[in-house]
Amino acid sequence: MTTILQNKLDEKFTAWIIKYISPNFVDGIYLVWFTDNDAESTDKLLTFENGKIFSSKNIENIELEIINKKKEIENYERVISWLNEEINNDSTEDNFYDIKFLLDQIEQNNFSIDVIELFTNYINLFGDYARQDEKNNFLLTFESQSSIQKLWNYYYEAIFWPRFNNKKEFENSKPASLEIDKSELHLQLSEIINEFDNQIQMSNL
């Protein structure tokens, strides 16, 4: 977890480096996700002023790439001062989203807890981006598709809250059965991935 200093205001906020793999980025890229210091503590992806998502092919170059694009980076002054020396000395991602793997597992009809959790985390990330700026609102239509919502709701109703409320009982029981149209889910998730990936802008040195 990387702590970043807000230059003009003496406040600290938290950011995460995400390694992201999808069918469009099979070698992996890196995104920056942070909690804003606004009244709602909004979770956001670091973006350019045009609304596109900042990304890097090399985790060790993230800071320099942000500096080089400072005139184009939204919230530049709030994210550039990296306090955690690990980002330079021992850079590692905080979260890993392998969406290519996720699609493969759905195609193979593997709906394990880990797979459903990865799905839900990705939809939540997608939703954060869709809501962080009004110009992204068109993306909410994809998030609300039937099979996407069905699996998302299943995760919270059958996994997250039962495990949160009584972990021991959850671990000793079997989650409720899941009935879902695998083909429809795969298609709808593929649409979301393509829409999300189209919003990503590479920032190479």
The pLDDT of residue 177 is: 94
pLDDT at 178 over 50: yes
HSE toward the beta carbon, residue 27, CA cutoff 13 A: 5
Q: pLDDT tens, 153-167? A: 999 999 999 999 999
- With vertex at residue 10, the alpha carbon angle to CA 9 and CA 16, rounded to the nearest 5 degrees, is 90
Q: Distances in Å between the alpha carbon of 116 and those of 7, 22, 53, 146, 154?
A: 39, 17, 25, 16, 9
**What average pLDDT does the segment 2-18 reach?**
56
Per mean pLDDT, which range of 69-73, 109-113, 190-194 is the poorest? 69-73
64 confidence band (pLDDT: 50, 70, 90): confident
- Which residues, at least 6 apart from 189, have a Cβ–Cβ distance to it below 8 Å? 102, 103, 106, 119, 148
- Side-chain half-sphere of 55: how many Cα atoms within 13 Å? 20
How much is the pTM? 0.88
Q: What is the average pLDDT value for the chain, to the nearest integer? A: 87
Whether the pLDDT of residue 189 is over 80: the answer is: yes
CA distance 28 to 113: 24
| pLDDT at residue 43, as a whole number | 86
pLDDT at 29 over 50: yes
Say whether pLDDT at 36 is over 80.
Answer: no
Q: What pLDDT sits at residue 92? A: 75
- Its sign, for the CA torsion 35, 130, 49, 30, is positive
Least confident of 39-48, 74-83, 95-104: 74-83
Cβ atoms of 143 and 195 within 8 Å: the answer is no
* Other beta carbons within 10 Å of 175: 16
Name the DSSP letter for residue 136: G
d(CA 7, CA 22): 34
